[in-house]
Each structure stands twice: as C-alpha cells, then as structure tokens.
Amino acid sequence: MHQVINIALITILAFAFTSFEDLLLLMGFQISPQTQTPRIGNRIFMGYLIAATIVQLLGFLSAYAANFVSPVYIGYLGIIPILLGVYIYILHDSSTDTFVSRLQASLQ
C-alpha cells in the first residue's frame, strides 16, 4: 500500500511540474485583450480543465489496457500516431478547414 501512495504522489508531482507551462499559457490567455469578457475567459478555463481530464483518463485507460498486451508488442503502439498522421495528411480536404473556421467563428 505504501508503494501505491508513493506512485500516486510522484504522478501528481510530475503532472504538476510538467503542466506549469500550460498554467503560464492559460494565464496569458486570460489577460489577453481579446478575452477580457468573462464568458470567453470561462470557456478557456473550462476547455483547459476538460482537456487535462481527458488526457489523464486516456493515460489511465492506456495503462490499464497495457496489462492485456504482451510486452513484446508494446513498442509497436508508437506506429498508431504515425499512421493517423499519414491518414489525415493523405485525406486532407476542405471539410477540415471549414470545421476550423466554424469553430473560430463560434468563439468570437
């Protein structure tokens, strides 16, 4: 049990130290003249919290799923992001640009 507490504390500290630059960026967005309205500032903050939560949950799920994958094949998991990037690059069309422009318009 003592080892579990140590691992949890190390994980929390590692996340806090690696997220320090995210905190600085978040503060920069909050004091930007374009985000002085409370509505946009709240969206930025909630977006950060949701993104951080999703990243943590994906990490936990990946660690849990790693129990079911043979250690021999763990190294091959790095090819998944590469294949996704190639797939998006090859099939890139204007629908992605339209989505981004709509998203930017909704934030204004």
pLDDT tens, residue by residue, 17-27:
877 777 777 77
Cβ(44)–Cβ(58) below 8 Å: no
Element (H, E) at 2: helix 2-18
CB 52 within 8 A of CB 19: yes
Cα angle value 64/23/105 (rounded, 5°): 95
pLDDT in tens, 34-93: 666 667 777 777 888 898 889 889 988 888 887 888 888 877 878 988 988 887 777 765
Run of H or E residues at 5: helix 2-18
- Give CA 7 to chain center in angstroms: 22
